[in-house]
Amino acid sequence: MLSKSAEYALRATIYIALKGSEDNKLGIDEIAKAIDSPQYFTAKILQLLTKNNGVVSSVRGPNGGFYLSDAARKLPVRAVLEAVGEDGIITKCVLGLKECSESRPCPMHDQYRAIKAQLRQMFEKTTIQALAEESAKGKIVINNRPPKKKA
Amino acid sequence: MLSKSAEYALRATIYIALKGSEDNKLGIDEIAKAIDSPQYFTAKILQLLTKNNGVVSSVRGPNGGFYLSDAARKLPVRAVLEAVGEDGIITKCVLGLKECSESRPCPMHDQYRAIKAQLRQMFEKTTIQALAEESAKGKIVINNRPPKKKA
DNA sequence: TAAAATAAAGATAAAAATATCTTTTATTAG
DNA sequence: CTAATAAAAGATATTTTTATCTTTATTTTA
Ligand code: FES
Ligand code: FES
């Protein structure tokens, strides 16, 4: 479905939205551990997210790290996909034809149309903040670590 | 969304269903041209489809080639995905967590649930034959070549 | 101002996916 | 039985993705 890059990008962004703020910036080591991703690779991805369209903000030096501006929190999830070049999922033909269109539909187009619209809706109408809030409420999980044992 | 392998697998299978039969087997060169795919790579994929679960049948030698049995035509599209190891699209977590479950949902799980169910429905309830029939009726297209000019 | 912290940038490596070419095997037609 | 045909199998190559390591630049604090 999505590339590893996109998955890490989404998980990292959600985590930063959830735990970080302008005066509590998060380090790459913390982030990678929290979302269970390879640290160096995740760092590269966060660079994309800061450069490509400012989804993520960063500062270097002591107490530096990553955080999300208020504006960034309101961005649609699609912005994250775009930053890592993965928004094809809501534009491309499911059979890999160069164009997905009503005028030259592939054999799956009719069936896929509605699904694609929902994918688009999901990625465009959902904000980063909304996912963070979803994540904040309870049992929602963002990594692969086993659940904490009850004491 | 899907890998190139899966895309070629689907397009090839649909084409074979549409144009081939037990007494009109199709050669790999024809198939690759028809679906606009790299010939040798497509050959490898068809090998998977013949070995892994008999979606496609083949015979060597003169007048040999690929075709679909009547039984194969009734298989769900998912069988093609399985043969190329790409059915994760209807099982995996959209954020790449090891498990997608109600008990440990990721932040997108609630929204993705319905979409995933529809993807599953599409790939499991649609038969190869159904796609071929869809393809047979008119303007449906399965390659990237420009439309034929009206004379 | 020096040292430490931290991300950015750049270089390299490893793995996976995609693609091509060559050799072998099965099948058919003659 | 032989030659021709076509897929299967195997080998190799290329590209892309994923991952890691090293060096540099920036920022803060002491
Ligand atoms: S043309 Fe294939 S999904 Fe639209
Ligand atoms: S847990 Fe992520 S989609 Fe179900």
The per-residue pLDDT for range A35-44, each reduced to its tens digit, is: 999 999 999 9
A125 touches B at CB < 8 Å: no
Contacts 24+ apart (CB under 8 A), B110-115: B110/A134, B111/A122, B111/A126, B112/A122, B114/A118, B115/A115, B115/A118, B115/A119, B115/A122
Q: Which ligand is nearest to the CA of B114?
A: 2
The CA-atom distances, in angstroms, between B9 and each of A77, A109, A130, B44, B67 are 31, 16, 38, 10, 13
Of A109, A111, A119, the one to substitute when testing ligand 1's pocket (max ligand atoms within 8 A of C-beta) is A109
**In terms of Cα–Cα distance, which of A75, A63, A94, A87 is closest to A3?**
A87
Which segments in chain B show pLDDT lower than 70?
148-151
pLDDT higher than threshold 60 for residue A150: no
Contacts of B96 in chain A (CB under 8 A): 2, 4, 7-8, 11
| Closest listed residue to residue B134, CA positions, set A1, A116, A112 | A112
**Is any atom of strand C within 7 angstroms of residue A28's beta carbon?**
yes
- For residue A46, which nucleotide's C1' is closest to its Cα? C7
The pLDDT assigned to B39 comes to: 98
Q: Which residues line ligand 1 (CB under 6 A)?
A: A 93-95, 97, 100, 105-106, 108-109, 112
Whether residue A17 has pLDDT greater than 90: yes
Say how many C-beta atoms besides its own lie within 10 A of residue B123's C-beta.
22
Residue A148: pLDDT above 80?
no
Cβ pair B115:A119 closer than 8 A: yes
- Asked if A142 and B88 come within 8 Å (Cβ–Cβ), the reply is no
Of A77, A96, A147, nearest to B104 by CB-CB distance is A147
Evaluate whether B118 touches B69 at the Cβ level (below 8 Å).
Answer: no
What pLDDT is recorded for position A52? 76
**One-letter amino acid for residue B113 of the chain:** R
Q: Which of B94, B98, B115, B119 to mutate to test the pocket of ligand 2 (most atoms within 8 A of CB)?
A: B94
Helix intervals (H) in chain A: 4-19, 28-35, 39-53, 70-73, 77-83, 109-125, 128-136
Q: Is the CB of B109 under 6 A from ligand 2?
A: yes
Collapsed DSSP state (helix, strand, coil) of residue A32: helix
Q: pLDDT tens-digit profile of A41-59?
A: 999 999 999 997 789 999 9
Could you identify the residue written with the tokens 């008990």?
A: B103
Residue A83 has pLDDT above 60, yes or no: yes
Q: How far apart are CA A137 and CA B75, in angstroms?
A: 42
* Residue B92 beta carbon below 6 angstroms from any ligand 2 atom: no
Question: Averaged over A137-145, what is the pLDDT?
Answer: 86
Task: For domain B4-86+127-136, give the fold.
Answer: Arc Repressor Mutant, subunit A (1.10.10)
Contacts of B95 in chain A (CB under 8 A): 2, 7, 10-11, 142
- Domain residue spans of chain A: 4-86+127-136
CA B47 / C1′ D11 distance in Å: 17
pLDDT value at residue B84 = 96
pLDDT above 70 for A151: no
According to the model, what pLDDT value does residue A147 have? 79
> Given pLDDT bands bounded at 50, 70 and 90, which one contains residue A149?
low
Point out the ligand nearest to the CA of residue A140: 2
d(Cα A99, Cα A124) in Å, to the nearest integer? Answer: 21
Supply the residue whose CA is at minimum distance from atom 2 of ligand 1. Answer: A93
Q: What is the pLDDT of residue B19?
A: 96
